[in-house]
Structure 1
């Protein structure tokens, strides 16, 4: 009952801000992964390049270059997964000692905020970070599946299973990349969720900034322009 009483301190604006960041997270992800052919995202454009990579891979000899690229991709997922674990640990440690946060809050607002409210807001951040960790781990594993499938591609391009297996490797590579990108987006939104500690208005502003950053990098960035020029 005491916890419910404390949660009642979260006003309609807090709930609206929390709902807004979750909705924005899902909407921007859907826009990126389901972008149409008229305005493709960087993720969609790179998916096609990954398919082209596997087509070239069939005829490349030796294939050391390809294995090095895949190894670097897996290292990236491992690095960010480890980073997420450290971040989750830091959030949990902060949730266990909220005195520094209460001092900051006292400078922002005169109203005393119960510890459980800080812990609830930090748990919100931890959820985003945990989601990111799970996405990175899964991406790492799927990149491993891709490596095995690439190893199963015959060296002879005339072999009837060469290109079908290469196509399978490409799709595995794409799924791994999609999960890697989902993990990155979850980390972005975790940073935005930290702003909730300063209040719902700060959370809304941070959410808008993150949405803009994610959208611009997928639909209005220089790398996208370069990829589109290559397409022309």
Structure 2
């Protein structure tokens, strides 16, 4: 094996280390700090508690259907991308000639290395498809739970209502996590594109993706607004006039 082969192997390991490492870091950090996942979980619980007190729940079912459509779009896109990569694999020699003819193309890349990179992309989108379709199924479960939710005037205790709301919110939360995992697969797949031109560009791109994900999940303007609104809502509930 040449030094370039070892560099490519190290770059592939770097991708999975960053991907898996960031996922573990985000889950652990969410337990102690505000992030999009932890804050949205609070909003989902509030949503389900409020849903049980409403007589008309058409808006709630429409919201679940809207979330499911967003996931369905990405899942359908994954299938199209997978089909495209399978087509590329069938004509890898022509694709290799086309890519190497591009400006700044990696001249040391062999057809076999190109094939392995495309296989890696294919595997990522297969993972994304399975993750996103699982999110779709979980949103479908949420629709069933909304349909089976007790009526606003049902003769059940407040503890039972809250337990049902929290359980339903938990399933919505799990669907949101699956959707998030699928989105991350898309992000990291885009980082592979510079690999067709330069391995070091790919290594830097993976680091940039991790930085973008971290900033959006833990330090974005959207997160600050969500936390601010959540704090204001809790303050109004505790107020004597609230």
Q: Is 1:17 aligned to residue 11 of structure 2?
A: yes
- 1:126-165 matches, within 5 Å, as 126-155=122-151, 156=153, 158-160=155-157, 161-165=160-164
Q: Is the 8 A contact 1:139 1:176 kept in 2?
A: yes
- Structure 1 segments of 4 or more deviating over 4 A? 7-10
Aligned to 1:101: 96
Is this contact kept in 2: 1:150–1:165, CA < 8 A?
Answer: no
Equivalent residue number for residue 42 of structure 2: 48
Query: Which residue does 2:66 correspond to in 1?
Result: 72
1:9 Cα shift?
8.0
Q: Deviations over 1:196-217 (max 9, x none)?
A: 2223212101101211111111
Q: Distance in 2 between matches of 1:50 and 1:109?
A: 48
Counterpart in the other structure of 2:239: none
Residue 174 of structure 1 aligns to a residue in which SS? helix
Alpha-carbon offset, residue 37 of structure 1:
5.0
Partner of 1:172: 171
Q: 1:109 to 1:168 in 2, by over 3 A?
A: closer
- RMSD of equivalent CA atoms: 2.0
Q: Distance in 2 between matches of 1:50 and 1:218?
A: 17
Moved more, 119-128 or 25-34: 25-34
TM-score between the two structures when normalised by the length of structure 1: 0.89
Of the structure 1 ranges 200-209 and 78-87, higher mean CA displacement relative to structure 2 is found in 200-209
Could you tell me how far 1:153 is from its partner in structure 2? Answer: 1.4
Displacement of 1:79 in angstroms is 0.7
Q: How many residues align?
A: 225
CA distance in structure 1 between the partners assigned to 2:10 and 2:74 by the alignment = 30
Partner of 1:31: 25
Runs of 5+ unmatched residues, structure 2: 232-242
